[in-house]
Amino acid sequence: MAIKKGKILIVDDNAGIRQTLKILLPMHFAEVEALPSPVTLVSTLERFRPDVVLLDMNFTTSINTGNEGLYWAEEIKKMMPEVEVVLFTAYADIQLAVEGMKRGAFDFIVKPWDNEKLAATLSAARDKARKAMGRDARKEEEKAPSMHWGSSHAMAIIQKTVDKIAPTDATVLITGENGTGKDVLAREIHAHSLRSGKPMVAVDAGAITETLFESELFGHVKGAYTDAHTDHVGKFEQADGGTLFLDEIGNIPLHLQAKLLRVIQNRSVVRVGGTKAIPVDIRLICATNMDLEQMVRDGRFREDLYYRINTVHISLPPLRERKDDIVPLAERFVAQFADKYHRPVTGLDDAAKSALESGRWNGNIRELQNVIEKAVILSDGATLGANDIHLEQARAGISVTGTWKAVSDAEEERRVREAIQRSNGNISAAAKALGISRPTLYAKMKKYGL
């Protein structure tokens, strides 16, 4: 007989399922409660204080299939980070469940379920939650990924360059295709600098709206505009003494580049609505996937700003030029995600390795990471095989050109994924950028498991 301990909250709109689970789960949990919908979820969480929430991904009130479940999974983790969420999903919605795990869910259970597996999964989630609740309330920061230098000649040259420049305050421009690890390289430079004890503040410059650009980077004073109820410290001040990483710098509009240049030159900021110049001591690292030299020639990027940020230029090679690094990187990701998602996966078989090496990887290391993450989540075995790894996009070698209409599924997925990343998960902003409606974007997200 299993030891009964902990509390579980079931949220499912199927009365038969709720009744079945209220009979089964008391054999494993000391207290079991059930809700037919998330309407009273917040108040129930505050009152019941469960260890685990078993959350259905679809409710009769949902407009976009599965997305209500994703929304509530995130809300639960925001409200009570120590509570573990297990997603309850139909087989057809496994892709959404995978996305739910990426957003913080402990695991997912497919309907119809196996009683033993359900009990084991929920018990493991409960044990993790109770262990977390017994610790200090301190949050454990997820360790940032370290640089994988690999064995290619190009990466060896870059490593030597980093060894030389990291201890200096030289401004660095990192270029390369999407997914090549520009942000990881920036962190590597900071970690080996004399400023490593101070913060590195990262900013996705392309994701900041024009109206908020100055406020986000330079700060504002109380009363500077309608919603400025308090003083706000901008990113430059936050990075004082450390490193400021401006990612996607090529996306900054031309008229805002002049304001950025002035601050970089003067090493001081004036908050929006203020008059006082505030000195800032930063090391600047910038990154872009764009051809800034061509943009300068086209008049889309200021030449003086380009030379100001380009003291040292490092160009990261695409993964297709680092074939020998594909399998070692994949093995690192297997270990990382097996630990994160509590999976027994320990490696890749030879067929899986061959399949990975055959990919085009236009999405580079980020695409490889996503493929391995999905494979680890969906696998129950100890070794990933070729059938566990889905390489449709990687094998296709999709071009990044073309219009929105009449494109392949892989190209459409890439565009949707990039729009969501650039908008920091803001669905309305991503839909607007793509020129489609929110429901249409949700449908595409479900189609591609995003």
1-11 confidence digits (pLDDT tens)? 445 688 999 99
Rounded mean pLDDT of 98-107? 87
For the segment 421-449, the average pLDDT, to the nearest whole number, is: 70
The model's confidence at residue 145, banded by pLDDT at 50, 70 and 90, is: low
E-only strand ranges, 21-104: 31-35, 52-56, 84-90
Pairing of strands 277-279, 268-270: antiparallel
Per-residue CA distances from 87 to 66, 111, 128, 362 (Å): 10, 10, 16, 32
The predicted pLDDT at position 141 comes to 38
Is the pLDDT at 171 greater than 50, yes or no? yes
Tokens of 426: 């803001």
pLDDT confidence of residue 432? 65
Mean pLDDT of 240-269: 94
Res 5: pLDDT: 82
State residue 417's pLDDT score: 83
Question: How is the chain split into domains, by residue range?
Answer: 7-133, 158-315, 319-396, 409-448
CATH superfamily of 158-315: P-loop containing nucleotide triphosphate hydrolases (3.40.50.300)
98's tokens: 């995978």
One-letter amino acid of 83: V
Judge whether 280 and 267 are in contact, CB under 8 Å.
yes
CB distance 159 to 300 below 8 Å: no
Per-residue pLDDT at 399: 33
Q: What is the mean pLDDT of residues 213-237?
A: 87
**Length of the chain counted residue by residue:** 450
Query: Maximum distance among all alpha carbons in the chain?
Result: 74
- pLDDT exceeds cutoff 50 at 64: no
Match domain 319-396 to its CATH number in 3.40.30.10, 1.10.357.10, 1.10.8.60, 1.10.760.10: 1.10.8.60
pLDDT band at 39 (very low <50, low <70, confident <90, very high): confident
3-state secondary structure 141-210: CCCCCCCCCCCCHHHHHHHHHHHHHCCCCCCEEEECCCCCCHHHHHHHHHHCCCCCCCCEEEEEHHHCCH
Which residues on adjacent β-strands are paired with residue 286? Answer: 173, 246
> Do the domains spanning 7-133 and 319-396 agree at the CATH topology level?
no
Calculate mean pLDDT across residues 330-350.
91
pLDDT, position 433: 67
- The predicted-structure confidence for 9-25, as pLDDT tens digits, reads as follows 999 988 899 999 998 99
Q: What is the mean pLDDT of residues 436-444?
A: 68
Exposure letters 280-302 (e unless 16+ CB within 10 A, then b): bebbbbbbbbeebeebbeeeebb
Q: What is the pLDDT of residue 61?
A: 52
Query: What global pTM score does this model have?
Result: 0.63
Q: Where are the alpha helices (H) located in 62-152, listed in sequence order?
A: 67-79, 94-102, 115-133
Assign 353 a pLDDT band (cuts: 50, 70, 90): very high
Confidence tier at 40 by pLDDT (50, 70, 90)? confident
Within 13 Å and on the Cβ side, how many CA atoms surround 243? Answer: 28
CB 251 within 8 A of CB 206: yes
Fold of 7-133: Rossmann fold (3.40.50)
Mean model confidence pLDDT for the chain: 85
- What does the pLDDT average to over 84-96? 82
> Minimal CA–CA distance to 56: which of 81, 36, 33, 75?
36
CA distance 30 to 37: 22
Percent over 90 (pLDDT), the chain: 48
Question: What's the pLDDT band for 139 if we cut at 50, 70, 90?
Answer: very low
Task: Give the tens place of pLDDT for each residue, 371-411.
Answer: 999 899 888 789 999 888 877 554 444 333 333 444 566 77
Distance CA 286, CA 186 (A): 8
Radius of gyration of the chain (CA): 24
- Per-residue confidence at 130, pLDDT binned at 50, 70, 90? confident
Which of 58-62, 179-183, 213-217, 409-413 comes out lowest in average pLDDT? 58-62
Which pLDDT belongs to residue 144? 57
Share of the chain above pLDDT 70, in %: 86
Measure CA of the first residue to CA of the last residue in the chain; give whole Å.
Answer: 40
Across 166-180, 193-207, 400-414, least confident range: 400-414
Average of per-residue pLDDT across 272-301: 94
On the question of pLDDT at 122 being above 80, the answer is yes
Give the C-alpha separation, 53 to 134, whole Å: 18
| DSSP letter assigned to residue 322 | -
Residue 151 predicted with pLDDT over 80: yes
- Cα–Cα distance for residue pair 360/338, rounded to 1 Å: 25
Q: Say whether pLDDT at 72 is over 50.
A: yes
